[in-house]
Structure 1
Amino acid sequence: MKNILLAVCGLSPQVITETLFALHQTSRTVDAIHIITTQLGKERILTTLLEPGSGKYFQYLHEYEREIRSIDFGPPTIHTLCDDRGREIPDIRDEADNERLLNLCLDLTFRFTKDPDTAVFFSVAGGRKTMSSCLALAAQMYGRSQDRLFHVLVSPEFENHPDFFFPPKVSRLLELRDEKGNPYLKETRYAEVTLVHLPFVSIRERLGEKYLKKPFDPATLMMSLVREDQVRLVVHLVQKKVIFRGLELDMMPARLALYAFFVLLKKECIRENPGCLRCTDCYLGLDEILTHHQKRIADLYRKLAGSRPLEEMSDSGILKLDADNFNMYKSRIRQDLLRGFGLYALKDIDIASVGKRPNTRYGIPLDKEKIEWVY
């Protein structure tokens, strides 16, 4: 069985050697180390851990070389977050970066858990909280019985100390700081590095075969587990959320106003058509929306905006739609729905389009009998 350490890391690469040490203390061997990090995190790993001759990782190997085997760890096993153009991201700054992080965690977890002869040790000790959360979520999606989720606890006085990477066999003095910032000396033999096993519930065994052929987003995986006799879409204006097959999604008021408008069009369609899913009679062209329905969309937005004074609301954007910001809102609504309900839900509940420009019309595909409106 090949053991793979899959860890997240920020600007404190000490967590990698501390995790190695903690695993070693519990007689767990590691055959390969894969790290998920940012550009700045990668640079810190290369200069502090993997610098030839002086890297702390090599010092760790030297001290424990008689007790551990060779480990596959180097630049090729450092996985750096990249933007849509392939440029490495220096830090996780917004929701888009966080989504890229989650996708990377899912992709690597899917890849390493696909081989039955591997065991994956997920380490959530490093990086931002969002990094550990994403890796833990990936473990819950694809983890198996032989995989483990770990955290590492280090004595507070030694944690994040720039010169502490693991307890060396020969203890040495480090200058520490007390709560008031006063310096004092303490031997590294007093440092405690503890491996904490975190139980987690995996949904892998409940996933259908097609969901184990390639990685999917969490919303799609969770949606695949929902078993309902009837699929329902609920737009809840009071709670400012969209509910589909039991999953809930909060949406920004401007986007929800436009989405609610299209849902209302479908719900209010007077045509009796048993094949509503394939009918597009309630779909509208952009010119008609901008010319005849702007006020209704604006009224929905004002209702969602609550007690905010009208004079404080922008007279552009959702209150004054044009072709450009309509497409922008439509794109962001799609991203919201994808994030909340997964790829396979889009065919039913996304704002779909039919026809070629300039005769394109827009609407919701889902059967109106499966739509509920709460206001």
Structure 2
Amino acid sequence: MKNILLAVTGLSPQVLTETLYALHQQGQIVQSIQVITTRQGKEKINAYLLSPTDGQYYSYLKDYGINPSSISFCAENIHVIKDRNGIEIDDIAGEDDNERLLELCLSLTFQFTSDSQNTVFFSIAGGRKTMSACLMTAAHLYGRPHDRVYHVLVSPEFESNRDFFYPPRESVSIELMDRNGEQYVKETRFARITLTSVPFISVRNRIEDDLLKEPQDPPTLMLSLIREEPPSLTIDLITCKLIFKGRELDMPPTRLALYAFFASIKKDCLRTDTNCRHCADCYLNSIAIEQRNNEIAELYKRIAFSRDFHAMREASDGGILNLDEANFKSYRSRIRRDLERGFGLSASRMLEIASTGKRPDTRYGIPFERERIRMIF
């Protein structure tokens, strides 16, 4: 069994040595330390903890007689949050940074909890509050009952002191500052570090097995927790919305008309002796789709006029009235992106206009079960 400490930190790297000390005091052995932080946080860790000459992490190990080779903690174990361009961020300054933080927390938590031989100790004591919240969310989603979430409480006068990293075996005097800004000296033997176990609810066993093969985006994971027996798809042509598992997706009239056409083909299928999900008898090839373009056009006109759109202008621009193989593929690709955005990647695979067979015998249709499709005209 391997114990992994997965922690978030900001500009106070002391939280790592304090947490490690507290775990060791409770007899919890750690074989690996993994850290989620910013670019500035990484620099602080390298300067104050991992410096080969005076790093406080190595001082702690030496002070307490711990073999450095028994714990994996090096530059490769420091995971820095990056923006969409792959550049390390200095701080979590906005919604996009927070989204990237959550993605990193989910990815690393998924990685470390995928091995049943690992136990993960989540440390939420460091960094901004949003960092703790994101790591806690990852623990809720991917954590297992034997994993643990910890917070570390340090005596207030020592907590904010930049020279205090852990209580050394031999007590030393360090300068502290009181509430009035006056300096005074106090022995480190008075420092108290308390490791607090934070209860968390593991929902991992409620996530669909297919979603535990690789890290997923948060919307997909959240949708998988919404249990409907069975989930249904509503295509509302009046409001131009798709409704699935309690979520609504607005779709432009052109794409909705094409999607509704394939949904109608699926619902009109008369086969009853096979599993609809894995049957492609109602799928159409490109020629058949073009031959039935008038049905798609009628759906489009009905939708556009019901929503008070400028129907004829949109029809001439969009190509939905003169569908060919090229613009069909373009519409199909956009519909897939709509579904991913609205319902997540896993759901989109069930709901998309899928293809089967190789060219020139490729055929298209919706794999979702016909009895779970409802259309509102």
Please tell me whether residue 292 in structure 1 is matched to residue 303 in structure 2.
no
Over the matched positions of the two proteins, sequence identity in percent amounts to 49
Please tell me whether residue 342 in structure 1 is matched to residue 360 in structure 2.
no
> Against the structure 1 CA distance between its residues 98 and 372, is the aligned structure 2 distance closer, same or farther, given a 3 Å change threshold?
farther
Please tell me whether residue 134 in structure 1 is matched to residue 134 in structure 2.
yes
Q: Which residue of 2 aligns with 1:205?
A: 205
CA distance in 2, matches of 1:66, 1:265: 64
1:149-298 equivalences in 2 (<5 Å): 149-225=149-225, 226-231=227-232, 244-246=244-246, 259=250, 262=253, 273=264, 275=266, 280-281=296-297, 282-283=299-300, 292=310
Per-residue CA deviations over 1:103-128 (Å, capped at 9, x if unaligned) read: 11111111111111111111111111
Maintained 8 Å contact 2:17/2:60: yes
Per-residue CA deviations over 1:252-286 (Å, capped at 9, x if unaligned) read: xxxx9xx37759977xx99x9464799854458xx
Q: Which residue of 1 aligns with 2:65?
A: 65
Q: Which amino acid aligns with 2:152?
A: V
Structure 1 residue 174: deviation in Å? 2.3
CA distance in 1, matches of 2:228, 2:264: 26
Per-residue CA deviations over 1:317-348 (Å, capped at 9, x if unaligned) read: xxxxxxxxxxxxxx9xx69x857742234468
CA distance in 2, matches of 1:72, 1:215: 24
Per-residue CA deviations over 1:204-246 (Å, capped at 9, x if unaligned) read: 22223212211112321232232233425699xxxxx997413
* SS of equivalent to 1:175: strand
1:89-108 equivalences in 2 (<5 Å): 89-108=89-108
* SS of equivalent to 2:135: helix
With 98-107 and 62-71 compared, the bigger mean Cα shift is at 62-71
CA distance in 2, matches of 1:161, 1:178: 11
With 35-44 and 60-69 compared, the bigger mean Cα shift is at 60-69
CA distance in 2, matches of 1:192, 1:174: 15
Maintained 8 Å contact 1:9/1:35: yes
Q: Which amino acid aligns with 2:116?
A: P
Per-residue CA deviations over 1:150-201 (Å, capped at 9, x if unaligned) read: 1111111111311111111122222222222222222211111111111111
Q: Which amino acid aligns with 2:180?
A: K
Over aligned residue pairs, what C-alpha RMSD do you find? 4.3
Please tell me whether residue 25 in structure 1 is matched to residue 43 in structure 2.
no
Q: Which residue of 2 aligns with 1:115?
A: 115
1:314-325 equivalences in 2 (<5 Å): none
Q: Which amino acid aligns with 1:342?
A: G
* SS of equivalent to 2:19: helix
With 183-192 and 224-233 compared, the bigger mean Cα shift is at 224-233
* SS of equivalent to 2:158: coil
CA distance in 2, matches of 1:135, 1:74: 21
CA distance in 2, matches of 1:191, 1:183: 17
Unpaired stretches in structure 2, ≥5 consecutive residues: 269-282, 284-294, 312-333, 353-366
Per-residue CA deviations over 1:31-65 (Å, capped at 9, x if unaligned) read: 01011111111111101111111011111111112
TM-score, normalised by the number of residues in structure 1: 0.69
Structure 1 residue 84: deviation in Å? 2.9
Maintained 8 Å contact 2:8/2:123: yes
Maintained 8 Å contact 1:233/1:245: no
* SS of equivalent to 1:158: helix
1:14-53 equivalences in 2 (<5 Å): 14-53=14-53
Radius of gyration: which is bigger?
A: 2
CA distance in 1, matches of 2:46, 2:197: 28
Q: Which amino acid aligns with 2:346?
A: Y
Q: Which residue of 1 aligns with 2:88?
A: 88
Per-residue CA deviations over 1:134-155 (Å, capped at 9, x if unaligned) read: 1111111111122111111111
Maintained 8 Å contact 2:151/2:195: yes
Name the count of aligned residue pairs: 311
* SS of equivalent to 2:156: coil
